[in-house]
Chains A and B, each alone.
Chain A
Amino acid sequence: MINFMALLSGLIFGLGIILSGMVNPEIVLAFLDITGNWDSSLIWVMASAVAVGLIAFALAKKRKQSYLGSSMNIPVATKIDQRLFLGSLVFGIGWGMAGICPGPALVLVGTGSHEAFIFLIAMLLGMGVYETMQARG
C-alpha cells in the first residue's frame, strides 16, 4: 500500500507538472529571465501548490503516524549553514543553464526526450559524486 501511494503521488505530481506548463524548460527559463520577456507562471504554480501544502503540513504536524501507520519523516534541521547556501547556489546555476530541475527531468524522460535523458544521467552522476565525497568524509 505504501508503494502504491508513492506511485500514485508521483503520477499525480507529474500530471501537475505537465498541466502547469513547467514540463517545458522554455517556460521555466522565461520565469528566470527577469530582464527579458518575463513569464510569471512558475510563481503561480508554487503559490497554489504551497496553498494546498500549508493545509497538509498543518494536518501532518498533529500526527505521530501516517494514515498507513508509517512514521512521519519531516525534516528537523534548522541551521542555515554553508552547505545549504552552496548547494542551493550550485543547483540554481544548473537550473538556470537548462531550465530543468529534478521533477520535470523525470517527466521529460517519460515523454521520450533524448535531451532530458542526458540531463538525467548527468544529474544521477552529480548525486553520485556527492555521495562518494560524503563517504570519504
Chain B
Amino acid sequence: MGISVNIYLDSIPWHAVAGGLVIGIAVTLLLLFNGRIAGISGIIGGLYRMQRGDISWRMAFISGLVLSAVIWKLFFILPEIHIEASYTVLALAGLLVGYGTRLGSGCTSGHGVCGLSRLSPRSIAATLVFMFAGFATVYWVRHVLIAQSG
C-alpha cells in the first residue's frame, strides 16, 4: 500500500504543479487588483488599438514577463531550453500563433487558464480545439512527415 502510493506520488511532476500554482497567483493578482484577464495574446493585441490610458499597464505586464528570465538568472540557473524548429518554421509558426490567437480571442493563458477557471464554455471549446490541433500537427510532423522523408 505504502509503496504503491509512493510510486504514484513519484510520477507527479511537482515542479510543474508548483509552476502552475505560481501562474495561478499571477492570474489572481491581475484579476483582483486590476480587474483584468491574464491572457497574454489579448494583452499584447490590445496595444494595436492604441487607446489612451490602455497602453501602459499592458507594457508593464509584458515587461514583467520578459524580465522574469533576467530575475530568475540572478538567483537560479535557467532550466535547459531547446528550440528544435528552424528559423523558417519559427517564423511561420509565429505568424499562425499571432493571427490565430487574435481571431480566436485567446491562447493557452486566456482560454486555457483563465477561461477554464471561470468555466466559460467558449474557452473550454477553444482549448479543446487548439489542443487537438497541436496534437495533430505534432503527429503529422513527427510521425508522418519525418517517416516519409526518412
Contact = CB atoms under 8 A, between A and B. Distances in A.
Given A32-B138, A126-B97, A10 B61 contact: yes
Contact of B57 (A6, A23, A94, A110): A6
Contact of A110 (B18, B65, B105): B65
Contacts of A21: 13, 15-16, 19, 79
B32 A59 contact: yes
Which of A10, A50, A95 has most B Cβ within 10 Å? A10
B71 A11 contact: yes
A44 B137 contact: no
Given A13-B65, A74-B118, A19 B19 contact: yes
Interface in A65-119: 65-68, 70-75, 77-80, 83-103, 105-113, 115-116, 118-119
B66 A5 contact: no
Contact of A94 (B23, B62, B96, B132): B96
B16 A94 contact: no
Nearest to A14: B68
Given A20-B16, A115-B83, A77 B105 contact: yes
Interface residues of A, number: 112
B28 A88 contact: no
Given A8-B64, A21-B79, A70-B35, A124 B44 contact: yes
Contact of B24 (A52, A106, A112): A52
A92 to B, nearest CB: 2
Contact of A20 (B15, B72, B101, B137): B15
A118 B87 contact: yes
B91 A119 contact: yes
B24 A53 contact: yes
B71 A93 contact: no
Contacts of B56: 3
Contacts of B34: 2, 5-6, 9, 66, 68, 70
15 contacts: A9-B38, A11-B67, A12-B29, A16-B25, A18-B79, A20-B22, A34-B139, A35-B139, A42-B16, A44-B17, A56-B117, A74-B118, A86-B104, A87-B104, A93-B96
Interface of A: 2-26, 29, 32-36, 40-42, 44-57, 59-61, 63, 65-68, 70-75, 77-80, 83-103, 105-113, 115-116, 118-131
